[in-house]
């Protein structure tokens, strides 16, 4: 059962985002980017109040994803990326992105915090950050 509502077009948009943000990190890296996206749609807190759909999440401005401003974002998603997008919409979660709402690729080590949000961990080149439970309990719910 899906943990967020998603049309076939939404799945393709999420797959495009996952590919554009983390293709070089392999399937697991793309799945973690997908987790962050699903978490943003589910959370309704902090920077993501009122974000209820995948397109709203992907194209949020300000606060959205830098990749949407690059031409490579607009590549058609491959079947493998569409399959990965379906997995995260169905509720599969991957550490350290399980409860993360943000990620970025630093030039060096992951900072302990990013915009006052604690570091949840690193996967390859990306650092993941999750809110404090008291600031956003909905992102920590089970699905």
**Whole-angstrom distance, CA of residue 59 vs CA of residue 69:** 9
pLDDT value for 91: 96
Per residue, the 3-state secondary structure of 12-32, as one string, reads HHHHHHHHHHHHHHHHHHHHH
141 touches 45 (CB < 8 A): no
The pLDDT tens digits along the chain (143 residues) read: 799 999 999 999 999 999 999 999 999 999 999 999 999 999 999 999 999 999 999 999 988 899 999 999 999 999 999 999 999 999 999 999 999 999 999 999 999 999 999 999 999 999 999 999 999 999 998 76
Q: Which one-letter DSSP state was computed for residue 77?
A: P
**Whole-angstrom distance, CA of residue 98 vs CA of residue 142:** 10
What is the model's pTM? Answer: 0.96
* Triad 24, 29, 32: Cα angle to 5°: 150
Q: Report, at the CATH architecture level, how domain 8-140 is classified.
A: Orthogonal Bundle (1.10)
pLDDT value for 141: 80
């Amino acid at each position: 059962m899906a943990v967020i509502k998603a049309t076939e077009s939404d799945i393709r948009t999420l797959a495009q985002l996952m590919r554009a943000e983390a293709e070089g990190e392999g399937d697991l890296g793309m799945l973690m980017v997908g987790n962050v996206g699903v978490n943003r749609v589910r959370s309704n807190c902090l920077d993501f109040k009122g974000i209820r759909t995948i397109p709203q999440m992907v194209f949020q401005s300000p606060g959205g994803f830098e990749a949407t401003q690059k031409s490579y974002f607009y590549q058609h998603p491959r079947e493998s990326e569409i399959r990965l997008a379906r997995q995260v919409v169905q509720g599969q979660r991957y550490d350290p992105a399980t409860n993360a709402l943000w990620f970025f690729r630093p030039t060096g080590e992951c900072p302990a915090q990013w915009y006052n949000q604690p570091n949840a961990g690193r996967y390859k080149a990306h650092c993941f950050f999750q809110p404090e439970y008291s600031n956003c309990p909905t992102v920590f719910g089970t699905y």
